[in-house]
Amino acid sequence: MNGRKDQHEHGSQGRTEPTLGDLDRLDAPAPRAKEGDELPKFTLDPELRRGHSRARGDQRPRRRGWLIPLALLLAIGAGTALWLGQDRLRGLVPSTELDGVLGRAETALQDGHLDGNDGTSARELFEAARALQPDNDRARDGLRNVGLAEVSRADAALQAGKLDEAEQALATARELLGGGADVDRLTQALSGARNGSVQTEHLIEQAQQAFEAGKLDGEDGAGALYHRVLAADPGNAVAAHGLDKVGEALASQVHKALDAGDRATASALVDRIAALLPNFGELPALRAALVPVDQAGNGALAEALRQGEDALRAGRIAGTGDDTALAHYKAALAIDPDNADAKAGLGQVAQALIVQANAAVDGGNAAQARKLLDQAAELAPRSAELTAARARLGDTRRSPAAQVANDVVAESAQSGEAMQHPALTPQQGTELARTIQRAEVAARDGKLMLPPGESAYDLYRQALAVDGNNEAARRGLEGLPGVAMNQFNQSLASGNLAVAGNRLADLADLSPGNAGLGSLRQRLASAWMDQAEQQLQSGDRAGAAQSLDSARKLAPGNPRLAALTARLQAGS
């Protein structure tokens, strides 16, 4: 073409590839061409021009209006899913209250604030956490750590000569840990420290005199005196030999009782030997000697229990004759004084009498109600239902002033008038509210039946003595068996077997006819045997003997008990 030189004319320079020129200047005005050298005019298509711009990387933002509706739809969907699954999500979130209590408990443990009565100690806070969630591992482990810390505190206090502080720490550790080798070691060391100034020779002389007088056990018996000598001087051979003589004398009494057919006395003596000398060599043989006697009485015992149940279902509760539930259960106890089923049967008889007494109150027959309650009191004197029924009748049995009020109520009942209690003065009302509050605190602290006068049971009775119609006091008193049950379960779960035993005893007093007492005894006995097995594995034979003795009192016929006892005696 005109005006363009063919590149092939420069062959000496090598071949040159064809080019399109500067594409960026396509839109710029073309330079004026010389005449005769003009090219044909053309127009670049807009689509090609935009494609060219994209190829250069000069992209303009494109509108994406469809993204906004899509984002809204996703937000609405997520919100709906959260709303529908809020209960599930809430379950995944830890309890703020529980975590707060556990956090404060662990802080108190780190600070050494182990126990107290103001609600801020590690023990109180961990127990509060267990009340919120009984199976919480942090709370259970925390209570155990508190017990171990109390052991360390007792050891330090003992080394510093602070015997009272050491004793207090040991008591708390024993409650939380249920005993153990360290607790027993420190207990013995504490006893030795307290008795360090005791003249062992004088004690040995007293023990020998008690032995010659036939006083073998008890606080001032030969066994206890020899134990005091060994506490002060563990290596005293005279005291050790004296204890063996005490065991032999008691074993002789067991054989005499068995020869006379007195199984109850023989069993009680064996238990005394086990408590005094848990490692006494003849103890397994003595227990084995009781088995034939037990088997001989098993048939008569089972029959007495069956007849008692039949009489109870038939409504033959008590009265004259030997075909009442009361008579049959008493016969069962004559065969086996420690039989739990027979004791529970008597508790059911007491409950039935209380029901009849309440019906008599409803019918206006105060004299009959009082008679029935007196019969129930012989069988279950500390029953919560009995106390509540007496308060309803106006019979508090606490003070002469209260008895005068009883007479007034009884006269009103006999004359057909409604039983009314006199109105309280403002001062009495304030004192009553304070007494009920103290009772509630005592119940939460596990002081259900003890100490006397300050227990929840006694405080609720005091409140009902002031106002027998007080609903809060009556409801609190009747709720004590449930409190005892809950605290039993908590103590058992945390391994505080001694505390669990105390709560079981409280429940037996408060609700002697409770149908679940038998299973609770078996659970606690099994826990004691578990502890005994662990103690045997660790070589703590003395602790294992004590644990087995506790289990034996709860479930004497348990087959596992015999196997563990054999291991103990074999030294395995």
Q: Are 36 and 3 in contact (CB under 8 A)?
A: yes
Q: CA-to-CA distance for 493 and 134, rounded, in angstroms?
A: 8
pLDDT of res. 324: 92
Total-model pTM: 0.49
The pair of structure tokens assigned to 190 is: 């504490």
Where along the chain do its domains lie?
96-194, 200-277
C-alpha 366: how far from chain center: 41
Q: CA-to-CA distance for 15 and 450, rounded, in angstroms?
A: 116
* Residue 24 DSSP class: G
Q: What are phi and psi of 512, to 5 degrees?
A: -65, -20
pLDDT of res. 419: 45
Q: Are 391 and 464 in contact (CB under 8 A)?
A: yes
**DSSP labels, 373-434:** HHHHHHH-TT-HHHHHHHHHHT---S-HHHHHHHHHHHHHHHTT----PPPPPHHHHHHHHH
Q: Are 303 and 339 in contact (CB under 8 A)?
A: no
Q: Are 236 and 225 in contact (CB under 8 A)?
A: no
Other CB atoms within 10 Å distance of the CB of residue 527: 23
Other CB atoms within 10 Å distance of the CB of residue 140: 18
> pLDDT tens across 297-353, in order?
567 778 888 898 898 888 888 888 888 999 998 888 887 777 778 888 888 898 889
Q: Which among 190, 225, 196, 191 has a CA at the least distance from the CA of 211?
A: 225
- Whether omega for the bond prior to residue 451 falls within 30 degrees of 0, making it cis, is yes
> pLDDT tens across 62-94, in order?
555 667 767 677 767 666 655 555 555 444 445
Q: Which residues contact 418 (CB under 8 A, 6 or more apart)?
A: 412
* Residue 62 DSSP class: P
- One digit per residue, pLDDT tens: the chain, 572 residues? 444 444 444 444 445 555 555 555 545 555 554 544 455 554 545 554 555 444 444 445 555 566 776 767 776 766 665 555 555 544 444 567 788 888 889 998 988 888 887 888 898 898 888 888 878 888 888 988 999 999 999 888 888 778 788 888 888 888 888 778 888 888 877 776 666 544 677 888 888 999 998 888 777 888 888 888 887 777 788 888 898 899 899 999 988 988 887 777 787 788 778 777 877 878 778 877 776 655 545 677 788 888 988 988 888 888 888 889 999 988 888 877 777 788 888 888 988 898 889 888 888 888 998 999 998 888 888 888 888 888 877 764 443 333 433 443 344 334 334 345 567 888 888 999 999 999 999 999 999 998 888 999 999 989 988 888 889 998 999 899 999 999 999 999 999 999 999 999 999 889 887 878 888 989 999 999 999 999 888 888 778 888 888 888 888 778 888 788 778 766 54
* Residue 470 DSSP class: -
* Residue 322 DSSP class: S
Q: Which CATH fold topology does 96-194 show?
A: 1.25.40
